[in-house]
Amino acid sequence: MKKLFAAGLTVLGTAVLAIPAVAADTINGAGATFPAPIYQKWFEEYKASHPSVQINYQPIGSGGGIAQLQKGTVDFGASDMPMTDDQIKQTPVKPLHFPTVMGAVVLSYNIPGVTAKLKFSPEAIAGMYLGTIQKWSDAKIKADNPGVNLPDKEIEIVHRSDGSGTTFVFVDYLSKVSPEWKSKVGANTSVAWPVGLGGKGNDGVEGLIKQTPNSIGYVELIYAVNNKMAFADVKNAAGKFVTPSFESVTAAAANSKEMPPDFRVSITNAPGAGSYPISTFTWLLVPSEIKDAAKKKDITDFLAWMLTTGQNDAQGLSYAPLPKAVVSRVQAQIKMVK
């Protein structure tokens, strides 16, 4: 019903906006909620400098964005995870993935009496979320946190209950570092969690962490920074403990060894000493063929603007900008929109 409702809204939105469209070109997009704040800002700024172009964006979720793109009810989609081969096959016009900004998922905790910044190895994180590590005093956690007085208490696991790109990035990472996780649980926007309590949204997870002593949960980096939550360093593929930050997230993208030509890539567990391992791109999904010439020009112009001027807005809104090497390759892809 929600999807119907969203589709109805899109139709309604298009119908209403079709009237002033005589004066300005209207472009409609829908999808991921995580990058919605920066997308809204971009579209406003772009409108200010290009008054004839009106871009509307509805943050209905990555899954919804992909579905709307497949039905052709929007001009572009947006997603926190790359489309699968199957999804691309089901799309009438082949979509192109344009990375826009980057984010990361951090582990936040609430252990009464512990004020030190904790460090986790991938084994410790996977073990906690699989339920095999049950106490804070477990040797696998203690080994990486010498001098921290970890209590002999049960670990209360918190995860997202709503389907989300954040969950996808986190479990995608766990699938890469833990074969047991990959075979038992796997990766999707929501999974069958072996243990733990579910909170709705980043704020729901934060609420549960704050309300539950000896708990741990995962939230988006920007959310943790804005809400001044404590979060842990994570050991990356190079064996170094890295603090999540804009720099370490951008480093993960720069160090990601194989960047496929279509940018459909997961950069979790990236190599490189400075890479934060639970990082991700978020993408705009643009059809590779746009029949309306005016629309095509507006969209490609916007993409070019987003990769240059637009990137300067990223840090102000707590998103990590794309690394320079990636930007030049994405710019080359704009020409592929026919």
Partner 1 sequence: MATSSATLTPASATMSKRRFGGDEVAHIITFLFAALIIAVTIGLVWQLWLHSAAARQKFGFSFLASKLWNPVTDEFGAVPFIYGTIITSFLALLISVPLGVGAAIYLSELAPTKVSNILTFLIELLAAVPSVIFGLLAIFTLIPLMRDYIEPFLKNVLGFLPLFSGRAYGIGYLTAAAILGVMTFPFIISVSREALMAVPREQREAALALGATRWESTFDAVLPFARLGIIGSVFLALARALGETMAVTMVIGNDPSVHASLFAPGYTIAAVIANEFSEATGDVYLASLVELGLVLFALTIVINGLAQMMIVLTTRKGSRKG
Note the residues at the interface with partner 1 (CB under 8 A): 1-4, 33, 60-64, 154, 156, 161-165, 185-193, 196-200, 204, 207-208, 211-212
Q: What is the C-alpha separation between 110 and 97, in angstroms, rounded?
A: 38
Please list the alpha-helical segments (H only) found in the chain.
2-17, 36-49, 62-71, 85-89, 122-130, 139-142, 165-177, 179-184, 201-211, 221-226, 246-255, 293-307, 324-334
Closest CB to partner 1 among residues 70, 279: 70
User: What is the smallest separation between the CB atom of 92 and partner 1, expressed in angstroms?
Assistant: 17
Query: At a CB cut-off of 8 Å and minimum separation 6, what does 158 contact?
Result: 196, 197, 198, 199, 205, 208, 209, 212, 215, 216, 217, 218
For residue 118, give the DSSP letter: P
Residue type, 219: V
Closest CB to partner 1 among residues 197, 334: 197
Closest CB to partner 1 among residues 190, 311: 190
Q: What is the C-alpha separation between 153 and 138, in angstroms, rounded?
A: 10
User: What is the smallest separation between the CB atom of 191 and partner 1, expressed in angstroms?
Assistant: 5
Query: At a CB cut-off of 8 Å and minimum separation 6, what does 15 contact?
Result: none
User: What is the smallest separation between the CB atom of 112 and partner 1, expressed in angstroms?
Assistant: 13
Closest CB to partner 1 among residues 58, 248: 58
What separation, in Å, do the N-terminal and C-terminal C-alpha atoms of the chain show? 35
Half-sphere exposure of 222 (CA within 13 A, CB side): 18
Closest CB to partner 1 among residues 161, 250: 161
Closest CB to partner 1 among residues 37, 198: 198
User: What is the smallest separation between the CB atom of 260 and partner 1, expressed in angstroms?
Assistant: 21
User: What is the smallest separation between the CB atom of 90 and partner 1, expressed in angstroms?
Assistant: 10
User: What is the smallest separation between the CB atom of 188 and partner 1, expressed in angstroms?
Assistant: 5
